[in-house]
Structure 1
Amino acid sequence: MEYRQLGNSGLKVPELSFGAGTFGGQGPLFGAWGNTDAEQARRMLDIALDAGLNMFDTADVYSDGASEEVLGAAIKGRRDQVILSTKAGLPMGDGPGQAGTSRARLITAVDDALRRLGTDYIDLFQLHAFDAATPVAEVVATLDDLVRAGKIRYTGVSNFSGWQLMKSLATADAHGRTRYVANQVYYSLVGRDYEWELMPLGAAEGVGAVVWSPLGWGRLTGKIRRGQPIPDGSRLHDTASFGPPVDEELLYDVVDVLDELAAETGRTVPQLAINWLLRRPTVSSVIIGARNEQQLRQNLDAVGWSLTDEQVARLDKASARTAPYPYFPYRRQEGFARLNPPLAG
C-alpha cells in the first residue's frame, strides 16, 4: 500500500481508504449498500489493516449515525492504528438546527460524532455539503476553533463547487484560519467532471482529492454490459436514482475497453477502474467499499501494479467527453493549451 500526502498537509493517507457506508445499513439507500454489523466490521478492519489500509470514512447521515457507531465499535482498542474520517452538514432531521454548517450545528455534530465513534478526536472532518445560509467566515472560524480544541485535526469538504471551495480557502487565508486540505469528490471513468475545475483548483491550492464512488455508483463492477439489462441482485435497482447520472453510451464505451484490458491483464473490471484513478493528478486516496470480505479483498488487489501508458491512453480516450464552456477551449485550441497545460499525473 502506498501512502500519500493529503493535499498540502503533513497527514499521510493510504492510496486506498475504506468507506463505511455499508456499516449498520438502514433505510432504502444505505440498506441496499449493506448492513455490516460490529463483528463483521471488526473482521473487515483486520483485513484492511493487514493490507496497509488504515483510513476509514463515514458520515453522520449514513444510516442516521449507525455507521459511525459500528465503526467506533470496530476500532475499539486500536484507535491509534487508524485514521478516522467523517462528515456532517446534511440534514439529520426536520428541525432548523439539524442541518447545515452553522456554528451551533458544527459543534453539536462534532460532539455527536466523537460520542458515536468512541474517540476524543477526528483525524479528518469534512463538510458534507455547502451551506448557503451560513456565512463562510463563520464556518471556517468554527472549524478552526474545533481544531485548536483538539477535537479535529484536519478539515475538508465534499460536494462543493469550485467557487465555494475557493471562497472558503480565501476566507481562511484572510483571517489566518485552518485551511481545507481534502476534497471528497465523485470521480470515475464514467464521471470525469472533477477534472474540469476542481482538479486544477486542488493542484493550485494544495487540496487533495479523496475519491468516492470510483466505480461510477456501481456501474463498473463488471456486471453491466451493452444490450443487457441490469442483473438481478444489483443494488442499482434500488440506488440508481440517488447517484450521479451516467450516459449509457459512455458507460458501454468504457466497459468495452475495460473488458479488453481485463482479458489482457488478468485483472477485474473494478480493479482496473480503481487503478486508473490512482494515476490521476491530485488524487490522495480512493475510497473503496465492500459488503463482504470477498469484495474487500478483490478491491484491495487494485494496488501494487500499474497499467501501461498505452492501456491508460485507451481508457482516457473511451472515457473522455467534451467539457463545457469555459473549460473546453483549453483542450481544443493550441493557444489556450499553451497557457493552461495539462496537469501531470
Structure 2
Amino acid sequence: MEFRHLGRSGLVVSEISYGNWITHGSQVEEDAAVACVHAALDEGITTFDTADVYAQGRAEEVLGRALRGQRRDGLEIFSKLYWPVGPGRNDRGLSRKHVIRAVEESLRRLGTDYLDLYQAHRFDHATPLEETLRAFDDLVRQGKVLYVGVSEWRADEIERALKIADEMGLDRIVSNQPQYNMLWRVIESEVVPLCEREGVGQIVWSPIAQGVLTGKYKPGQPPPAGSRATDEKSGAHFVRRYLDDQDLLTRVQELAPLAAEAGLSPAQLAVAWVLQNPNVSSAIIGASRPEQVRDNVKAAGVRLDAGLMSRIDELLSEFVQRDPSLTASPKERP
C-alpha cells in the first residue's frame, strides 16, 4: 500500500480506502462484510469511509464491529452527514442541531470516540454556511472530529466555505469527496484547480463506475447474475445509465488489452487511472467479496505512462461527462 497526505493537511491516508456504501447492512451479510474489512486491513488499507445514511446507520454499525480490536491510532475513520436519518424535520441537513446530534450517533454506532474526518455529504441550501462551519469547528475543538471535509460540492461552494473559514478563524475543510472515474470527470475543470490552489484533496468514489469499467457488462447480454445491476438493494439504478448505452459497453471492452499491456486487470487500471491525478488523495473501493479487495489494491503505487493515459482518453472521449454543473445538491432538503 502507498500513502498520501489528505490535501495539504498533515493527515496521511492510504491511497486506496475502503468504503461501505450500499454493501454493509444491505447488500451483503455481516460475515461477508467483516471478511471484506479484514481483507482490506490485511492488504494495508488504513482508511475507511462510511456515512450515517448508508443503510440508515447499519453500515456504520457493521464497520464499527468489523474494526473492533484494531489499534485505533493506526486507522483513519471517515463518516458523513446530510441525508435524512429519521422522520423529524431536523434529522437531515447541516443545521447546528443536526450536526451536533449526528456526530454523536455516528460515534456511538462506530464504537469510537473520534472521527478522523467528518464530511458534509451535500451542500445544504437551507442552512447558513457560517452555521455549519462553526458547528464543525466546535467538534474539532472538542476532539470529536480531527478534520472536516465535504462531498459532492461545486467549486464555488468550496470556495465560499474556505473564505468564510478564513474570515471567521475556523478550521478549513481539507477534502472533497466527489464521484470521479474515466467516464465521469466533471471535477476536472473547476473543482480540481481550486482545490489544488487551496490545498483541498479529493477522496474519490466510484473509480470503476459501479463496475462498468471492469468490462463485466457485455453489450447485448444481460448483466451477470449477482452483479450490482441485478440487485435493487445494491444501487442497480446507478448502473443503468451506463447499461443503456451499448456503444459505451462495446468501447469499454477495448480497455482490457490496454490494461493487459500495463500488467493490470481492467478494474486495477480504472483505480490506478484516478490515482494519476495529483489532487486525488485516495480512491474509495467497495466490495462484496474479499477477493475484490485483494484485486483492487494492486492499483496502489502504479504509475501509468503518458502514452497509455492518452490512449484511454481517445478510446472513451465521446462518452465522458465533463460538465461541472452535473455536480449538484438538492435545492431543498430531502
TM-score using structure 2 length: 0.88
Q: How does 1:237-248 map to 2 (within 5 A)?
A: 237=230, 238=232, 239-242=235-238, 245-246=241-242, 248=245
Match of 2:281, SS state, is strand
The CA deviation string for residues 17-61 of structure 1, in whole angstroms up to 9 with x for no partner, is 0012255433xxxxxxx3241x44443333222322100000000
Partner of 2:189: 196
Q: How big is each residue's C-alpha offset from its partner over 1:97-135, in whole Å with a ceiling of 9 and x where there is no partner? A: 111010000000000001001111000110111110100
Task: Tell me the distance in 2 between the aligned counterparts of 1:53 and 1:93.
Answer: 32
Q: Percent identity?
A: 44
SS in 1 for 2:214: coil
SS of residue paired to 2:149: strand
Query: Which of 1 and 2 has higher RCO (CA within 8 Å, sep 6+)?
Result: 2
> Deviation digits for residues 164-190 of structure 1, max 9, x if unmatched?
111111111110101110100100111
Return closer, same or farther for 1:137/1:322 CA change in 2, 3 Å cut-off. Answer: closer
1:162-177 aligned within 5 A: 162-177=155-170
Q: Cα–Cα, structure 1 residues 325 and 303, in superposed 2: closer, same or farther, change >3 Å?
A: closer
> What amino acid does structure 2 have at the position aligned with 1:76?
R
Shift of 1:323: 4.8
Residue 217 to residue 278, structure 1, CA distance change in 2 (3 Å):
same
* SS of residue paired to 1:220: helix
Distance 1:302 1:137 in 2: 39
| Separation in structure 2 between the aligned mates of residue 293 and residue 110 of structure 1, nearest angstrom | 29
1:127-142 equivalence runs, <5 A = 127-142=120-135
Aligned position for 1:187: 180
Residues matched between the structures, number: 318
Q: Which runs of 5+ in 1 are unaligned?
A: 27-33, 327-345
AA aligned to 2:267 is: P
What is the letter of the counterpart of residue 277 of structure 2? R
**Aligned partners of 1:207, 1:151: CA distance in 2, in Å?**
21
Provide the secondary structure at the position in 2 that maps to 1:225: coil
TM-score by length of 1: 0.86
Deviation digits for residues 208-266 of structure 1 (CA, Å, limit 9, x no counterpart): 00010111122112212334343333212333424694483673365144122134344
| Paired position in structure 2 for 1:287 | 284
Q: Which amino acid aligns with 1:128?
A: H
Alignment root-mean-square deviation, CA:
2.2
Inter-CA distance 138–250: structure 2 relative to 1 (3 Å threshold): farther
The corresponding residue for 1:341 is none
What are structure 2's unaligned runs of at least 5 residues?
A: 326-334
Shift of 1:201: 1.4
- 1:322, distance to aligned residue in structure 2 (A): 7.9
Residue in 1 that maps onto 2:21: 21
SS of corresponding position for 2:150: strand
Aligned partner of 2:76 in structure 1 is: 83
1:92 and 1:40, CA in 2 relative to 1: closer, same or farther beyond 3 A? Answer: same
Native 8 Å contact 1:23 1:71 kept in 2: no
AA aligned opposite 2:221: Q
Structure 1 residues 111, 54: closer, same or farther in 2, change over 3 A? same
Moved over 6 A (4+): none
8 A contact 1:8–1:206 mirrored in 2: yes
